[in-house]
Amino acid sequence: MAYNANITGSTTGIDLSGHWNLSGVVKQMESLPVLLHLESGREKLYRIDCSGISSIDMSGLQLLYVWMQCVSMRGVKPALINLPAGMQQTIKTLGLENCFSDFYTDLSIR
């Protein structure tokens, strides 16, 4: 399963899991339709729990970034939480800290 969505009060959340790499990114695109459930202005924060991501590469990070931009365009603030160490390292290695800095709540990645 690519995701598990949870809605509580004014915070919506999603738990991402699996392989977010070139071989698994097509399966992860299944997460995109969940955006239809977001009503503009209803939720203030969209928590994206990344603790279940097994692996991620440039293609997975690109999909995640575009997806978060779509969430933002719905008037909701996406927030990445619980990034695995390997994901943080991939973001740093690829020089993408600036792309994700607005969405990541832990300052250690900046």
Which of 1.10.10.10, 3.40.50.1820, 3.90.580.10, 3.30.750.24 is the CATH number of 3-109? 3.30.750.24
Q: How do the pLDDT tens digits run along the chain, 110 residues long? A: 344 544 444 567 888 888 999 888 888 877 665 666 666 556 578 888 999 999 999 999 999 999 888 888 888 888 999 999 999 999 999 999 999 988 876 544 44
Rounded Cα distance between 30 and 108, Å, is 30
Amino acid making up residue 43: E
Contact indicator for 100, 80 with CB cutoff of 8 Å: yes
